[in-house]
Structure 1
Amino acid sequence: MNRFDRFLWLLTLIGLLIRVAAVFVLNDYRAPITAEYGIVAHNLVAGKGFTGGGWLGPEQPTALNTPLYPLLLAFWLWIGVPLPFLAVELVQAALSALIVYLIGKVAAQIFNHVVGTVSAIGITVYPPLIYFCKQVSPAILTAFWVALVFYVVVFFFAQPTGGRAALLGVVWGMGLLAEPILLAAVPGVILLYWFRQAPSERWCSVWPLAGALLLAALIVLPWTVRNYVVFHRFVPLKTSFGLNFWMGNNPNATGFLYTMAGEPMPHTLPPERVAYLASLNEAERYAVLQREAWQWVIAHPDRFLELTIKRIGYLWLISPTFQITAENIVEPSYFYLLRYAIQIPLLILALIGLIIAYRHYRAALLICLWWLVAFTMPYAISVAGNTRYRLPVEPVLVMLAAVACAAALSRWRST
């Protein structure tokens, strides 16, 4: 193990201690809000399978979310430890701490070791990656898998062997069961890497990549088959996009989950429409809503564009949801103000880093930009109501900010 790796592991340990301390200080593990994830987890433990209440329908088989996080909750409920959600939050603390090492290695590989060092330090003390450890939601799990997939992709292309291709396939497949956006993010990054190679070398990586794709598909396949058997339609990962697309594109749409009057968006539907939707299975219900949303978008392209611009702002700054309604808002108001205070300087530094990377690290910049675009688009066209949605790719912003900080450090040393 070289000196840089030892330093990264030391930061990882420090990050773990900070996160574990935060879990106990924040003390939200005795009876936390678990939303739909807890419902599915309890049903799994009770032998009912992946069933839940869902939106606009009764409790029935669900694929509203991918299975990895409910399975994590169900495991700790099933083994019967006294404080199962404390165990969940401690696992999340460990996964969040591992992001320190993963991002440090990625940044060192695609930029340089100074950027890798600064990135790792930033991730170690980055408040959202500390705070969300205490929340029973997929935020930390998805952030970890996104970082791990990013790491494996980068190191596959550093040395595209069969073993690394197999690892890429397994990690990508498992990552898809945690975060479906990886379905688009990973191929884009792979293509960017592939076209960077000399034409004579590109084809050497085709078969390993094909093997990785096959492995990822095989890992996802049982879940997809289950969904087809349950819903009688092709649902590769989750059903929720149709619902979210409708909530973001209808006559009452605001860009987040509520109307401007604070009414949950599903409450705007007339009772007879709700009754009809409830008679369908989950996949059929959200497919109907998705078709209606597309019809609305085609009829109102100017309004769709306006909402899309707002949603991008809500995603990368903060949604006004907490100012409009108290429903499902479990964090104190100062939490959202602190997110502003953190996010705005981070975005400014990341923009400076982007300009520097354009001059000196153009290939790395393209990879980071694709990662950001891939995770922005689904929310830009649907809803951007929760701050946790962007957490999986906030480490990319930290890396770009680290480019700016490393450049400033270099200039200071040279004076």
Structure 2
Amino acid sequence: MKWKRENVDKKLNLNFLEREKNFLAILFIAALLVRLCVIFMFTTGAELLDGPDQRYFNESALNILKGEGYHYKVLQPDQHTGPDGDSLSFRVPLTSIFLAGIYSVFGHSYGAVRIIQAILSALVCLVIYFITKKIMDSKSARIAGVISILYYGLIAPILFLFKEILFGFFLVVAILYLLKIDESNGRRNQIIAGITLGLSALTASFTLIFPGFILIWLFEKYRNFKKAILTFLFILIPFLLVLTPWVIRNYRIHHVFILSATEGGFGFWVGNNPWAKGCADSANLDFSKYAHLSEVEKNKAYYKEGLKYLLSAHPFRIAKLCSLKILTALYPFLPVYDFSYALIFPFWLWGMWLGIKSRKKNGLLLYIFLNLLIVVAVFEGEPRMRESFSPYMIVFAAVAVSHFFEKERLKR
């Protein structure tokens, strides 16, 4: 009787987990609990903002709350600011607006920021499940969901005032709705995809070139010029409308057209100079000769410096530098940065290979990585840059794991 009862209990438990709603509820709760535990274990209450990124986002958010508008001012002008020490458009604004919204409700609380970022990160786990299910099947989706619960690249950024969590959230939502553009609410899904893609571009400039890849993907998907263009317009127009207020604001302040931010020139020069070896290297660069220039003029000057070096460098050196940037960004053996990435790295590469073989189904996700590789090759390579793209690494790793188990099953 006891043996029968245990079997019945096991079947009930399996049936409970096999129901998608139950699995998703457990997935979200487990992911959130892991993230809340990390916050509890690794925050001491000493609210130190190390690094320029956190200081920038925090101070610019506080300036918004003070009614001063979006800007970041330092006492000593540096390579990012104008001669007066003020930076008005160095970074795209949505992370600062996000922080300002949290501060306005909960006060100047980093704990509140971390908890809300933990919720967004847990929601990303659900979206990863739906993306994997859309391009593969429920089995692969469950594997992806389980991996995402403990994946370091989705957890570590919640402790900091970085852009990665917010950017990653908007981007996965955009990808999910792009995959749903042929469903019954296709036009609505296209518009939502365009809006969320625009929001991602206002959080990090990575995705400014991604609409071009979407157009290529649509041509491959439909093999119909008119349908591809019409669908693309329903995505592109909302994308551009989301960016429009920021572009207008920049034009009113700087009297020039700035689609994203003025940080591009800095990233381009520190990644393309005689001393660069893949990651950013600014130790030997002479920024002082441009100290008198405005923020916008510095951006242009830095681009010219980087371009001047590339035009003078040997093609082999340029190819080597681009390769080093990509290798630096994707290097898996930095456990202090992302140990879980090293664990899934071979499965991700295998999954990418399987994705290339069935490109019609997985093309959009492949273009996400092509987008990342181009940005890294042009600017600089940093391991942190891959964190926002980790959901798609998890998707392909799950596809490979599922494929492996299926092959083993067929052998028996």
TM class, shorter-length: 0.7 to 0.9
Partner of 1:332: none
Question: How far apart, in 2, do the equivalents of 1:222 and 1:29 lie?
Answer: 37
Equivalence map 1:63-212=2 (5 Å): 63-79=89-105, 81=107, 84-159=109-184, 161-199=186-224, 203-204=226-227, 206-212=229-235
Question: Greater CA deviation, 84-93 or 178-187?
Answer: 178-187
Partner of 2:68: 48
Partner of 1:350: 348
TM-score, normalising length: structure 2: 0.86
> CA shift at 1:24, angstroms?
1.4
> CA shift at 1:338, angstroms?
4.0
Q: 1:198 to 1:380 in 2, by over 3 A?
A: closer
Please tell me the residue identity of whatever aligns with 1:379. V
> CA shift at 1:406, angstroms?
0.3
Partner of 2:275: 252
Partner of 1:286: 299
Q: Answer yes or no: is 1:384 the counterpart of 2:387.
A: no
Aligned length: 383
- Which of 389, 398, 401 is the aligned partner of 2:397? 401
Partner of 1:373: 370
Partner of 2:290: 277
Three-state SS of the structure 2 residue aligned to 1:181 is: helix
Please tell me the residue identity of whatever aligns with 2:269. W
Q: CA-to-partner distance for each residue in 1:93-125, whole Å, 9 max, x for gaps?
A: 011111111111111111222221211111122
Please tell me the residue identity of whatever aligns with 1:315. A
Question: Greater CA deviation, 392-401 or 88-97?
Answer: 392-401
> CA shift at 1:205, angstroms?
5.6
Q: 1:16 to 1:85 in 2, by over 3 A?
A: same
User: Unaligned stretches of 5+ in structure 1?
Assistant: 259-264, 320-335
Three-state SS of the structure 1 residue aligned to 2:161 is: coil
User: Unaligned stretches of 5+ in structure 2?
Assistant: 1-17
Equivalence map 1:28-47=2 (5 Å): 30-33=46-49, 34-47=54-67
TM-score, normalising length: structure 1: 0.85
Q: 1:337 to 1:168 in 2, by over 3 A?
A: closer
Q: CA-to-partner distance for each residue in 1:283-322, whole Å, 9 max, x for gaps?
A: 2101111012101101003322221111111101169xxx
Question: Greater CA deviation, 46-55 or 240-249?
Answer: 46-55
Asked if the contact 2:218/2:232 (under 8 Å) is kept, the reply is no
Question: How far apart, in 1, do the equivalents of 2:223 and 2:267 lie?
Answer: 42
Partner of 2:41: 25
Q: 1:280 to 1:29 in 2, by over 3 A?
A: farther
- Which of 325, 332, 336 is the aligned partner of 1:311? 325
Q: What is the RMSD computed on CA atoms of the aligned residues?
A: 2.4
Question: Greater CA deviation, 403-412 or 236-245?
Answer: 403-412
Question: How far apart, in 2, do the equivalents of 1:77 and 1:160 lie?
Answer: 36
Q: 1:145 to 1:51 in 2, by over 3 A?
A: same
Asked if the contact 2:215/2:229 (under 8 Å) is kept, the reply is no
Please tell me the residue identity of whatever aligns with 2:278. G
Asked if the contact 2:220/2:360 (under 8 Å) is kept, the reply is no
Question: Greater CA deviation, 2-11 or 216-225?
Answer: 2-11
Asked if the contact 2:266/2:302 (under 8 Å) is kept, the reply is yes
> CA shift at 1:182, angstroms?
1.7
> CA shift at 1:243, angstroms?
0.7
Question: How far apart, in 1, do the equivalents of 2:231 and 2:212 lie?
Answer: 14
Question: How far apart, in 1, do the equivalents of 2:305 and 2:260 lie?
Answer: 22
Three-state SS of the structure 1 residue aligned to 2:217 is: helix
Partner of 2:254: 231
Please tell me the residue identity of whatever aligns with 2:127. L
Percent identity between matched residues is 20
Question: How far apart, in 2, do the equivalents of 1:399 and 1:161 lie?
Answer: 23
